[in-house]
Chain A
Amino acid sequence: MLTLMSHGRAIRFRRIYLLVLAVVAVLGFSSGSVSAQDDNSAEVKGSLIGRDDAGERIGIADVTFIASDESGSEAGRAVSAADGSWSISLPPGTYQVLLDESTLPEGQTLRNPDKNPAEVRLIEGDSKSTLFALGTPVEPSSEGSTDETTEFVEETSSVGGITFIQLTVDGLKLGLIIAMCSIGLSLIYGTTGLTNFAHGEAVTFGAVLGYVFNTSGIFGFRLHLIPAAVIVVSVCGALGALFNRAVWQPMRRRGASLVAALVVSIGFSILFRYVILFFFGGRAKRFTDYQIQEQWDLGWFRLAPKDLVLMVLAVVVLVGVASGLQFTRMGKAMRAVSDNRDLAESTGIDVEKVIRQVWIFGSALAGLGGILFGLTESINWEMGFRVLLLMFAGVTLGGLGTAYGALFGSIIVGLFIQLSTLVIPTDMKNVGALIMLIVILLVRPQGLFGRRERIG
């Protein structure tokens, strides 16, 4: 009886132990690549194998690998798992992959230290293995060790809480940026009924234009990022007005159906995206300013100064937009048109003027959102499209057509994406948000703040 019980307890203990191991494994993985980019279309990977004292081949765990791009700034990092395997997801480009020798365990050394930052070129969809040969003679075989029983050292158990706080901060940052981008999407939908798929390209365009001013320069003259951002925001606003005037106003006049308008907006999305690709190229790029910043270690989490400024700026802008919508004449008119177009028109509101203002503000905010995205991650030709789907998730969660709903929904989506990396691999974090989108539609299709009648 006693033995039986202790046997059962042993089994339960092992279960708990395995669970802890799994959690630690996921945490180790996610905390290593919190700063990984969104566009992880390529990866560099490897398997770090050494020999223990008895000469057995073992995987070397907890060694840090850092990939830096051509400008020398860090593009991604990873920590090797128990079997020595590691991988860093990266946008296509050329990288220096560095094995941080200070993280190697006692008694392990690199066989060719001069090969240490190893250069890799990644093209779209690549998965390249990079070998760092360790220690004394024997060539580590490149075969992947897959089904070995993992034996962990439980030293990272305290990381849990800190990772959670770090991810919350990152999620808040992401959510604020998504919110900034999605207000325009939601207001345009509210005032005109158009689900504007080309809104993501406004985000990309903002970032790309910022890159042109800040990094490539015009006639050799480079602007600092802050004045560049001011110009970008104005240009995006102006282009939004132009887009409305040239395309959407004529379509409204002709009484085009919403489905036709939807298809047209998808056409523009594809057209703009590939025109940007044509001129900008397929590789991810970065702004010149504010790239390399020492992160403040605030105990519970780490934050770069630019991220703090960015979050404060986003909060200020969003509070400004919200109070503008609440208190100014223009904002009230926007909400009125959004609520009931015919009623607003009959009270003497110039609906076309309101729609024009919505386009200007929405596009300007999307452009600013693009700059902020470019600051936290990298700039590439399809970043806006990726963000668009997150915006849809946020806007649907908040309620299509409501401005405040878009705000809250986006922030929740941002938090959800980052926190989901606690359970799913980082490279699949956006899937969580998209699954959430489907679940919302199943449970509460009108969103948190929407009204039921919109969805029928």
Chain B
Amino acid sequence: MDWGAIIENTFRGLLGEQFIYFALAAIGLNMHFGYTGLLNFGQAVFMAAGAYGLSMSVATLGLNFWWGLLLGIVVFPLILALLMGIPTLRLRADYLAIVTIAASEMFRIIARSPSLDRWTGSSDGLTAFANDFYDMSPFSTGGRYFFGLFIGNQMWVVLVGWIVLALVVLLVWLMMRSPWGRVLRAIREDEDAARSLGKNAYWFKLQALMIGGVFGALGGLLRAIGTQSAQPQNFITDVTFFAWVALILGGAAKVGGPVAGAAILYGILNFTDVFLRQLVDNGYISESIMDGTQVGQVRFMLIGLGLILLAAFRPQGIFGSKEEMALDDR
């Protein structure tokens, strides 16, 4: 057993790229669910909007990297939020849930369809759209940084990710202190009461869906840059629930909740992943019980189990407060 590798990977989970992508996605969900009470089960599509917004504009349309950023962070997610929000936000919460999860499935089918290969690269996805980003990297390719955790350009991705994450957290904190944020919370607590005070609840909910979608798209865009590819299987439906577990684990309706949740979640996931792989490689678990590919599936089972246990027994998560976190009294 190589405990060094296990510990190193656990720390990489706590601070590394996956943590950044999913912390951003979970902050978006926090905007949707934690503050406004919207059940968005399609955050993966917002992430995909960011990833494909950038990659398609650069790799397919041949636009400049910066135009790609604009399309990926602003245009694509806003269009998506309007498409999903307009039909459903007047209805009961579970209709948005069904439509967003259906949107995830639609994305999967469309992105994988060979007939659109020219636009999306079908199941292989798109590559070579982030060269401008890596050209700006101040880090040398082979160097090890940050206690040796990150190598070369990985450090560049992680550093930019940390900065973006910090800015987004600051932004959310400011927004939630503002009167606008108080309206959102009022809608979450009692939509009729907010409406009777003259607030256009539908429009506020749509705004929350759009802004949370933009944060999700940022996460997806960074993921596409970090892996240097936009592939359909990186944004399947189940990806949404990684962000959900991160959100509920940390505590919804808290500014830092999703960040802490994502760090803890990826710490746990990376630990079990490497730990199980080591057990398999060293023969503590025989191949007949579990092999290398099956280790990857355990991570999804943990996500399912985490959702069940958190929702049933500790809906306020680790840091949330029961009064604000209303998973149980809505």
Q: Are A267 and B106 in contact (CB under 8 A)?
A: no
Q: Are B115 and A270 in contact (CB under 8 A)?
A: no
For B241, give the chain A residue with the smallest CB separation.
Answer: A270
For A439, give the chain B residue with the smallest CB separation.
Answer: B87
**Which residues 239-261 of A sit at the B interface, judged by CB distance below 8 A?**
251, 256-260
Partner of A89, one of B101, B114, B118, B300: B114
For B248, give the chain A residue with the smallest CB separation.
Answer: A263
How many residues from B make CB contacts under 8 Å with A?
Answer: 59
Q: Closest approach, in angstroms, between the C-beta of B330 and any C-beta of chain A?
A: 5
For A89, give the chain B residue with the smallest CB separation.
Answer: B114
Contact size class for A?
Answer: 35 or more
Complex alpha-carbon distance, A428 and B22, angstroms:
29
- Complex interface bits, A84-116 against B, C-beta within 8 A gives 1, otherwise 0: 000101000000000000000000000000000
B88 at the interface (CB under 8 A from A): yes
Partner of A42, one of B123, B300, B305, B327: B123
A291 at the interface (CB under 8 A from B): no
For B107, give the chain A residue with the smallest CB separation.
Answer: A431
Q: Are A427 and B114 in contact (CB under 8 A)?
A: yes
Neighbouring B residues of A124 by C-beta, 8 Å: 233
Q: Are A267 and B39 in contact (CB under 8 A)?
A: no
Q: Closest approach, in angstroms, between the C-beta of A395 and any C-beta of chain B?
A: 9
B94 at the interface (CB under 8 A from A): yes
Complex alpha-carbon distance, A152 and B98, angstroms:
43
Q: Closest approach, in angstroms, between the C-beta of B192 and any C-beta of chain A?
A: 10
Complex alpha-carbon distance, A285 and B114, angstroms:
23
A441 at the interface (CB under 8 A from B): yes
For A193, give the chain B residue with the smallest CB separation.
Answer: B94
Partner of B233, one of A125, A264, A273, A454: A125
For A43, give the chain B residue with the smallest CB separation.
Answer: B114
Known: A256-B328, A428-B115. A435 touches B300 (CB 8 A): no
Q: Closest approach, in angstroms, between the C-beta of A120 and any C-beta of chain B?
A: 15
Q: Closest approach, in angstroms, between the C-beta of A201 and any C-beta of chain B?
A: 10
Partner of B307, one of A41, A270, A282, A454: A270
Partner of A264, one of B97, B300, B312: B312
Q: Are A441 and B294 in contact (CB under 8 A)?
A: no
**Which residues 26-48 of A sit at the B interface, judged by CB distance below 8 A?**
40-43, 45
**Which residues 103-130 of B sit at the A interface, judged by CB distance below 8 A?**
103, 105-106, 109-110, 112-115, 118, 122-124
- Complex interface bits, A414-456 against B, C-beta within 8 A gives 1, otherwise 0: 0000000000010110110011011101100100000000111
A268 at the interface (CB under 8 A from B): yes
Q: Closest approach, in angstroms, between the C-beta of B96 and any C-beta of chain A?
A: 9
Complex alpha-carbon distance, A42 and B232, angstroms:
12
Partner of B95, one of A267, A427, A434, A441: A441
Neighbouring B residues of A262 by C-beta, 8 Å: 39, 94, 97
Interface segment, A169-177, A307-315, A386-394? Answer: A386-394
Q: Are B312 and A256 in contact (CB under 8 A)?
A: yes
Complex alpha-carbon distance, A278 and B99, angstroms:
29
**Which residues 235-250 of B sit at the A interface, judged by CB distance below 8 A?**
237-238, 241, 244, 248
Known: A195-B97, A428-B113. A263 touches B123 (CB 8 A): no
**Which residues 191-230 of A sit at the B interface, judged by CB distance below 8 A?**
195, 197
Q: Are B41 and A434 in contact (CB under 8 A)?
A: no
A338 at the interface (CB under 8 A from B): no
Complex alpha-carbon distance, A454 and B87, angstroms:
16
Q: Closest approach, in angstroms, between the C-beta of B28 and any C-beta of chain A?
A: 17
For A275, give the chain B residue with the smallest CB separation.
Answer: B301
A376 at the interface (CB under 8 A from B): no
Known: A251-B312, A271-B304. A435 touches B106 (CB 8 A): yes
Neighbouring A residues of B95 by C-beta, 8 Å: 396, 441, 445, 455
B91 at the interface (CB under 8 A from A): yes
Neighbouring A residues of B110 by C-beta, 8 Å: 428, 431
Q: Are B328 and A389 in contact (CB under 8 A)?
A: no
Q: Are B101 and A389 in contact (CB under 8 A)?
A: yes
Neighbouring B residues of A269 by C-beta, 8 Å: 304
Complex alpha-carbon distance, A277 and B308, angstroms:
19
Q: Are A266 and B241 in contact (CB under 8 A)?
A: yes
B315 at the interface (CB under 8 A from A): yes
Q: Are B304 and A263 in contact (CB under 8 A)?
A: no
Neighbouring A residues of B41 by C-beta, 8 Å: 266
A158 at the interface (CB under 8 A from B): no
Complex alpha-carbon distance, A274 and B307, angstroms:
14
**Which residues 278-297 of A sit at the B interface, judged by CB distance below 8 A?**
278, 282
Partner of A259, one of B39, B114, B233, B297: B39
Q: Closest approach, in angstroms, between the C-beta of A28 and any C-beta of chain B?
A: 14
A346 at the interface (CB under 8 A from B): no
A166 at the interface (CB under 8 A from B): no
For A274, give the chain B residue with the smallest CB separation.
Answer: B300
Q: Are A41 and B106 in contact (CB under 8 A)?
A: no
Q: Closest approach, in angstroms, between the C-beta of B286 and any C-beta of chain A?
A: 15
Q: Closest approach, in angstroms, between the C-beta of A93 and any C-beta of chain B?
A: 15
Partner of A278, one of B91, B103, B294: B294
Known: A127-B123, A257-B328. A267 touches B98 (CB 8 A): no
A126 at the interface (CB under 8 A from B): yes
Q: Closest approach, in angstroms, between the C-beta of A326 and any C-beta of chain B?
A: 28
For B98, give the chain A residue with the smallest CB separation.
Answer: A392
Neighbouring A residues of B106 by C-beta, 8 Å: 431, 434-435
Q: Are B39 and A437 in contact (CB under 8 A)?
A: no
A146 at the interface (CB under 8 A from B): yes
Neighbouring A residues of B306 by C-beta, 8 Å: 267
Known: A259-B327, A393-B102. A146 touches B301 (CB 8 A): no
**Which residues 273-330 of B sit at the A interface, judged by CB distance below 8 A?**
293-294, 297-298, 300-301, 303-309, 311-312, 315, 327-330
B79 at the interface (CB under 8 A from A): no
B86 at the interface (CB under 8 A from A): yes
Q: Closest approach, in angstroms, between the C-beta of B306 and any C-beta of chain A?
A: 7
- Complex interface bits, B11-53 against A, C-beta within 8 A gives 1, otherwise 0: 0000000000000000000000000000101000000000000
Q: Are B233 and A438 in contact (CB under 8 A)?
A: no
Neighbouring A residues of B114 by C-beta, 8 Å: 43, 45, 87, 89, 127, 427
B93 at the interface (CB under 8 A from A): yes
Neighbouring A residues of B248 by C-beta, 8 Å: 263
Q: Are B304 and A41 in contact (CB under 8 A)?
A: no
Q: Are A274 and B304 in contact (CB under 8 A)?
A: yes
Neighbouring B residues of A195 by C-beta, 8 Å: 94, 97-98
Give me the 3 closest cross-chain CB pairs, A-B, nearest first: A271-B304, A267-B307, A270-B304
Assuming A125-B112, A270-B241, what are 20 further A-B pairs, CB within 8 angstroms? A41-B123, A124-B233, A195-B97, A258-B330, A259-B330, A260-B312, A263-B311, A264-B311, A267-B308, A271-B308, A274-B301, A392-B102, A393-B102, A427-B114, A431-B109, A434-B102, A435-B106, A438-B84, A441-B95, A456-B91
Task: Offer 7 A-B interface pairs, CB within 8 angstroms, sorted by A.
Answer: A43-B114, A125-B112, A125-B231, A266-B307, A278-B301, A392-B98, A438-B87
